[in-house]
Chains A and B, each alone.
Chain A
């Protein structure tokens, strides 16, 4: 089976940097996704890590350590629109359609 842990809530200030952690324990691992979900909307893709290391994409970066079962999502220059839930999801094989999601981290950005 798979177990994924994320903090439930985080608060940060506009313009700051925030790091959202995700730890996982899986019986098989292929890759880790991060999705963003605004209240009342569908999740949207942010990043996908398969190999160890940091992937940077504009203000958002994602890190993976396969040996430690650990990932983080780093958001820089926070904006009010970044207030959302951030979902960590693990795939146990090459089928992205069979992902196990964490419960999500609700990020609130304050002025």
Chain B
């Protein structure tokens, strides 16, 4: 049981490049979320999903897209990277009314 896995662990992009952050969970959780965490701050919700085929926006969705074709996978796409998207990105999964399990994070730098 690997829990929540994220790849890559580190990434450096140039402004304007696009990329996809991968997230997978093997706990059959219906809920999955993407957060970003800037230095000294809490987590801000980007997008979340309540099940395969269902996604919705969080607090800071601009510049990001998601899709949920399977229960296990929830990739986050950066459409055109900007320096303001330099952050640590956490993926999480959970069940209704229950705790969230977080992946190890992806540290992204946009130059």
Q: Is the CB of B41 within 8 A of A94?
A: no
Q: Is the CB of B59 within 8 A of A95?
A: no
Q: Is the CB of B99 within 8 A of A97?
A: no
Q: Is the CB of B33 within 8 A of A98?
A: yes
| C-alpha gap A101/B98 in the complex (Å) | 15
CB < 8 Å: which of B31, B40, B96, B102 contacts A44? B102
| C-alpha gap A27/B105 in the complex (Å) | 30
Assess whether A96 is interfacial by the CB under 8 Å rule. yes
Q: Is the CB of A96 within 8 A of B95?
A: yes
Q: Return the CB mask of A31-51 against B: 1 if under 8 Å, else 0.
A: 101000000011111001010
Assess whether A103 is interfacial by the CB under 8 Å rule. yes
Assess whether B104 is interfacial by the CB under 8 Å rule. yes
CB < 8 Å: which of B33, B56, B97 contacts A94? B97
Q: Is the CB of B45 within 8 A of A94?
A: no
Assess whether A108 is interfacial by the CB under 8 Å rule. no
Which A residues form the contact surface with B (CB < 8 A)? Answer: 4, 30-31, 33, 41-45, 48, 50, 87, 89, 94-104
